[in-house]
Amino acid sequence: MKRVYLDNASTTPLLSEVVDMMTEVIRNHHGNPSSIHFFGRDARSLVEDARKTVASILRCSIGEIFFTSSATEANNTILKNAVMYNGITRIISSPTEHHCVLHTLEHLAEHHLVEVIYLEVDRKGNPNLDQLESLLSNDKNHTLVSLMYVNNEIGTMLDLQRAADICNSYSVPIHCDAVQAVGKLPIDLSKLNLSYLTASAHKFHGPKGIGFFYMNMDHIIPPYIHGGAQERNMRAGTENTYGISGLAVALNHLNQNHQENFDQVNDLRSYFKQQLVDHFADIRFNGNQEENYLPHILSVSFPPSDKVEMLMFNLDINGIAASSGSACSSGIESDSHVLQAIRHEPDRAAIRFSFSPWTTREDIDYVVEKLNGLTPSK
Ligand code: PLP
């Protein structure tokens, strides 16, 4: 059976260059980077080469990049320790953040009495940056702002430069969950002036179980995980050398073909949208469509019909992997927190299709063919 993978926002397949690099490290570079002998020094140089690659792509200094097990760990590290050690008592965020941010914020509100303010979002998922400005102008003390760059469910992209400029003008630290953006959009930290940024390798064709955060030296927080002196005392635990090397190879590869990849995915997305609109009735798209969107993510809203609940199931049995925008709790499907925040109509079905530079028009044609009969045609 043909299989089509359109769930790249969930995770991405490894690039063959990444597999080669990781295999080489696993086979031939088994040292512990903390050991002082040859094997240790050899592993250490791999880790530091990878850090250099990441720092040069993101235009920051190598001392500002710290490897972690995931973006989830990186986000927890920053948010929790900014509260625990840097005197943050108020966090301004948005209701469409990933659960690893939202649940951390809920924890901080409940157990550390942090005041959490969620910005209003419009029906495309754009947080209200005027509101951010007015909140900071009223009170900027002990405040941290945490906003994602690209929403993982609907692809809406934040005006990150403007958000950072607002925070900088009030000298308020800003954390950005850039998991869906790193490897897909150019990020120049020397211009953006963020305090913290987080990423996860498996979202950009690198391995699972490895991520990193950027921490600006004006906003240092202490370590979250205690133990050895790894990552310059910022993140204890023996480094995942093959993961770190794989991460750097993936980022480097994507960065080299950056504009080409973006344009290709954007063309594919337009093609898919056109096919859907041409063939099926009452198709809508969630999130920004004209500007400020990441083309890799397309959230399609299908009209109510007797088959709508079976859409995901039917795509799956036809070999098509996509993601439902519904969360199933105790057997009852309800729209995800993101779809609720953008007031998606609950009787419609939202499906997230997410692409990579390796997705083809044939893949799209196959999906359109299989959607016949599953959603009302024109
Ligand atoms: N933030 C965003 C926007 C995401 O999409 C994800 C994963 O889906 C994460 C954070 C968490 O990434 P990880 O599970 O790799 O820690």
pLDDT digits (tens, 9 = 90+) for 284-323: 999 999 999 999 999 999 999 877 778 888 999 999 999 9
The residue with tokens 């397949």 is 13
Question: Which two structure tokens, joined as six digits, stand for 24?
Answer: 């080489």
Spell out the alpha helix ranges (H) of 59-184: 71-85, 99-112, 129-138, 160-169
Please list the residues that pair with 157 across neighbouring strands.
150
Backbone φ, ψ for residue 257 (5° rounding): -110, 30
pTM here is: 0.97
Residue 47 in contact with residue 210, Cβ under 8 Å? no
Mean pLDDT of 187-213: 98
Pocket test for ligand 1, best of 70, 72, 202 (most atoms within 8 A of CB): 72
Pocket test for ligand 1, best of 7, 78, 100 (most atoms within 8 A of CB): 100
According to the model, what pLDDT value does residue 334 have?
77
pLDDT by residue (tens digit) across 71-102? 999 999 999 999 999 999 999 999 999 999 99
pLDDT by residue (tens digit) across 236-248? 999 999 999 999 9
Residue 184 in contact with residue 152, Cβ under 8 Å? no
Backbone Cα Rg of the chain = 21
Between the CA of 204 and the centroid of ligand 1 the distance, in Å, is 11
Q: Read out DSSP for 22-85? A: HHHHHHH----TT--SHHHHHHHHHHHHHHHHHHHHHTS-GGGEEEES-HHHHHHHHHHHHHHH
Between the CA of 137 and the centroid of ligand 1 the distance, in Å, is 31
Distance (Å, whole) CA 307 – CA 95: 30
According to the model, what pLDDT value does residue 308 have?
72
Backbone φ, ψ for residue 165 (5° rounding): -60, -45
Nearest atom of ligand 1 to the alpha carbon of 202: 15
Nearest atom of ligand 1 to the alpha carbon of 177: 1
- For residue 60, indicate whether it is catalytic: no
> 33-38: long-range contacts (C-beta < 8 A, 24 or more apart)?
33/230, 33/238, 33/239, 33/241, 34/228, 34/229, 34/230, 34/238
Residue 333 banded pLDDT, cuts 50, 70, 90: low
Do strands 90-93 and 115-118 pair parallel, antiparallel, or not at all (unpaired)? parallel
Distance (Å, whole) CA 218 – CA 338: 32
The residue with tokens 């050690």 is 85
Residues with CB under 6 A from ligand 1: 70-72, 98, 100, 148, 152, 177, 179-180, 200, 202, 211
Is the per-residue pLDDT at 331 higher than 50? no
Nearest Cα residue to 213 out of 186, 232, 191, 238 = 232
Nearest atom of ligand 1 to the alpha carbon of 151: 3
Residue 14 banded pLDDT, cuts 50, 70, 90: very high
Nearest atom of ligand 1 to the alpha carbon of 211: 15
Between the CA of 373 and the centroid of ligand 1 the distance, in Å, is 34
Between the CA of 200 and the centroid of ligand 1 the distance, in Å, is 7
86 CB contacts (<8 Å, ≥6 apart)?
173, 219, 221
Question: Which two structure tokens, joined as six digits, stand for 346?
Answer: 């609950």
